[in-house]
Amino acid sequence: MRSILLLLLLGACAVAPPPAPPLAYPPAARERVVRIALGEWADWGRVVTEPGQPAGSTGAESEPANFPRVLAYWRAVPRDEGAIERNRRLYAEALAGAADGAALWREPYWSAAFISFVLAAAGVDRREFPPSAAHADYVDALIRDAAAFPATAPFLPRLPFEAPPRPGDLLCADRGHVPITDWRQRAADGGRFRPMHCDIVVGAGAGVVEVVGGNVRDSVTLTRFPADAAGYLLPRPPGEPAWFALFQSRLGRLPPWSPLS
């Protein structure tokens, strides 16, 4: 018995091994992220929105024909918060013409599952992008990776107005009542849940930044944000969710695939 207790104590005191360094990905990985995001957007009907437009629902997520699309997003995350079981039942109700079917895929929110699906489908491993049903989980993981491996991390956090977004980057906003505006403030949360939303940058240039995100107007939607002549984002109108991070994608931008950039 004493030997068993000793082994248990030694196991509890053991230090977890450091994470393996991230791998470098070819340019095709970043290109696939953008192409898959745009492909999903096209499958949902190419919905486009801009700041200041009415935020009404398209109702697309509750259409039975879209059931397998959102199901694929949830299958990409390790813990689905009961979403699949609940919505399989609602899908059956929708097919039977029952009123409950109108609530298909309304809960829980699937925007983080969408991002996780796109990165996984592009071939980015869970080591470099941990999939999750919550944006905060992978945001924290990317911040930790950048701190531990600044030279080789595949995503680097920047302030949202620090650099012009490029296709393949992730643009993240805080949706809380008291939002953070700097990714470094996230450390003060101690890993607690914070309502967030992230989009994938699919187009950028003088005057506009285009992003694709899931569960925007209950669809996969392309949003156009205004930028200045150099491509830097302009501030959002009052009352809009506050950007706090631009995660610069270095997929295909690290040695040996290209010089460090």
How many whole angstroms separate alpha carbon 168 and alpha carbon 120? 14
Tell the burial category of 231 from Cβ atoms under 10 Å away from its Cβ (0-12, 13-18, 19+): middle
Q: What residues make up the domain containing 162?
A: 24-249
The rounded percent of the chain whose pLDDT value lies above 70 is: 92
- Range 65-90 burial, b when 16+ CB lie within 10 A, else e: ebbebbbebbebbeebbebeebbeeb
The structure tokens listed for 82 are 């009961």
How many whole angstroms separate alpha carbon 254 and alpha carbon 27? 9
Structural domain contains residue 7: no
Residues of the chain under the 50 pLDDT cut: 1-13
Structural domain contains residue 57: yes
Count of structural domains, the chain = 1
pLDDT of residue 160: 96
pLDDT tens profile 26-83 = 999 999 999 999 999 999 999 999 887 777 899 999 999 999 999 999 999 999 999 9
Q: What is the pTM of this model?
A: 0.91
Q: Peptide bond before 256: cis, by omega within 30 degrees of 0?
A: yes
Structural domain contains residue 214: yes
pLDDT of residue 16: 58
Contact 222, 204 (CB under 8 A): no
- CA 116 centroid distance within chain: 6
